[in-house]
A and B are shown apart, each in its own frame.
Chain A
Amino acid sequence: MTTLGAIGTPKALEPKGFDTLVREQHRRLLAYALALTRREDVAEDLVQDALLIAHRDLGKFDAARDFGAWVRGIVRMKYLEWTRSRRTERMTESQLEDLDARHREWDRAAEEGRGDALEALRLCREELGEHIAETLDLFYAGRHSCADIAQRLQVSEVVVRKRLQRARDVLGDCLQKRLDASHGS
């Protein structure tokens, strides 16, 4: 992960520098916003708003901090605003802290050269068994409900939910191992 220190002080940040940071960070920021909202359109809006604020307030940014973590904080603030305006249920404080903690771990892994979480997860995804991978694809890429998937695959909804949970367990372990293994190698 590129930090502000790697590209200069905030005041020295030129538009090109900001573009580079956005290009490097936007997918992780979207992953963060998607974890919060589970809605692609809302996640894009939150991240876009946060990056516009980041661009406006770049002069106030502390160069000692991580750019991604800083913008994640703005995304989080925007998320809380969104839940208030929509009166929608939101994550608890402890869930938000857990989510931030996981992203900080992945930030550290990237900084220490242990790999990028998204790329590691992509590789883990390729190792999944056929049934689990198919269920996962229908849920995430196909955006089908569990009931729809159950109907398509001719299995019960409980089986679909179990497969998805199994997939997350396997992928979580694999991700952890990949990022740790990179550290060991």
Chain B
Amino acid sequence: MDRDDFALDGLLRELARDQARDEAFLRRVLAGSRRRPSRRAYFFVAAAGLFAAVGFFLDPTPDARLGFRPQACLVPEAKTIRLISKGELLGEVPIDAQVRVPSGTPILLQAVGADGLALWTDRREVRLRPRENRAVPGAPAAALHPTSVSYRRDVQPILDAHCVQCHAEEELLANAKPYSARQSALVTQTHRLLASSDRRQLALWVDLGAERP
């Protein structure tokens, strides 16, 4: 910019200023006051603060709502959806339902077929803001029932009862890979017919990542 242009630039900036802002500025100057919030603004800020404080004491960690329409479209054969956080099952609900979930918690979604085996696992976790609503309007509400799956408590007894007579434990656990029950030999290639509940338990453990101590 040329030296002379500074003055012209200032004039152009002034010409482009919003008239309402200019009038507000003039009023402020003539009132001899700095930019100060009005009494009404103070009232609204105080009221908002009060409401926030009351809301916090009543509900310190406000929940969010989550629906699963995108997952239902993506995996049409899915019947239920699992909500997994840090390897723990927060709950499994019908895919057309909506649930209240803790805000700020990383949640991995897993679509499950009628046979109880995972059909699809999201690659990314979702994390909802307090009171964020991603529910499908009108969807029935479902409740989460957190379930922990322990290798020693829930899986090892099944393996001990049905598998270890012929297979080493390490060999069995290697068959848990690739941590998708539908593709895992541990679930799909058993010599003996497992009880439905046992098979579901094994499948759930594998689908949750086959964690073991």
Interface residue ranges, A against B (CB under 8 Å):
19, 22-23, 26-28, 30-36, 38, 40, 43-44, 47-48, 51-52, 55, 91, 94-95, 98-99, 102-103, 117-118, 121-122, 125, 136-137, 140-141, 165, 168, 171-172, 175
A48 touches B6 (CB 8 A): no
Q: CB-CB contacts of B34-51 with A at 8 A, as 1s and 0s?
A: 100000000000000000
A103 touches B15 (CB 8 A): no
Q: A102-B4, A103-B7 are in contact. Are A22 and B14 (CB under 8 A)?
A: no
CB distance from B145 to the nearest CB of A (A): 51
Q: Is B25 an interface residue (CB 8 A)?
A: yes
CB distance from B144 to the nearest CB of A (A): 46
User: What residue of chain B has the Cβ atom nearest to residue A49's Cβ?
Assistant: B34
Expressed in whole angstroms, the Cα–Cα distance for A12 and B194 within the complex equals 105
The 8 Å CB contact of A35, one of B9, B16, B28, B29, is B9
Q: A22-B26, A26-B29, A48-B28 are in contact. Are A171 and B4 (CB under 8 A)?
A: no
B14 touches A27 (CB 8 A): yes
Can you list 12 A-B contacts with CB-CB less than 8 angstroms, sorted by A residue number? Answer: A23-B26, A26-B25, A31-B10, A34-B9, A35-B11, A38-B13, A47-B29, A48-B25, A48-B29, A99-B6, A118-B14, A171-B12
Q: Is B22 an interface residue (CB 8 A)?
A: yes
A38 touches B16 (CB 8 A): no
A40 touches B6 (CB 8 A): no
Q: Is B32 an interface residue (CB 8 A)?
A: yes
CB distance from A32 to the nearest CB of B (A): 6
Residues of B within 8 A of A27 (CB): 14, 22
Residues of A within 8 A of B4 (CB): 98, 102, 172
B8 touches A91 (CB 8 A): no
Residues of B within 8 A of A48 (CB): 25, 28-29, 34
Expressed in whole angstroms, the Cα–Cα distance for A36 and B4 within the complex equals 13
Q: Is B59 an interface residue (CB 8 A)?
A: no
User: What residue of chain A has the Cβ atom nearest to residue B9's Cβ?
Assistant: A35
Residues of A within 8 A of B21 (CB): 40
A175 touches B8 (CB 8 A): yes
CB distance from B90 to the nearest CB of A (A): 44
Q: How many of chain B's residues have a CB under 8 angstroms from any CB in A?
A: 26
Residues of A within 8 A of B14 (CB): 27-28, 30-31, 34, 118
B10 touches A36 (CB 8 A): yes
A34 touches B32 (CB 8 A): no
Expressed in whole angstroms, the Cα–Cα distance for A118 and B11 within the complex equals 6
CB distance from B27 to the nearest CB of A (A): 11
User: What residue of chain A has the Cβ atom nearest to residue B22's Cβ?
Assistant: A27
Expressed in whole angstroms, the Cα–Cα distance for A121 and B8 within the complex equals 9
Expressed in whole angstroms, the Cα–Cα distance for A40 and B2 within the complex equals 21
Expressed in whole angstroms, the Cα–Cα distance for A99 and B1 within the complex equals 13
Q: Is B3 an interface residue (CB 8 A)?
A: yes
Q: Is B171 an interface residue (CB 8 A)?
A: no
Expressed in whole angstroms, the Cα–Cα distance for A152 and B176 within the complex equals 55
The 8 Å CB contact of B15, one of A51, A140, A172, is A140
Q: Is B161 an interface residue (CB 8 A)?
A: no
Expressed in whole angstroms, the Cα–Cα distance for A59 and B150 within the complex equals 86
CB distance from A75 to the nearest CB of B (A): 11
Q: Is B30 an interface residue (CB 8 A)?
A: yes
Residues of A within 8 A of B11 (CB): 31, 35, 117-118, 121
B29 touches A22 (CB 8 A): yes
- Looking at A31, A137, A141, the one whose CB has the most chain B CB atoms below 10 A away is A31
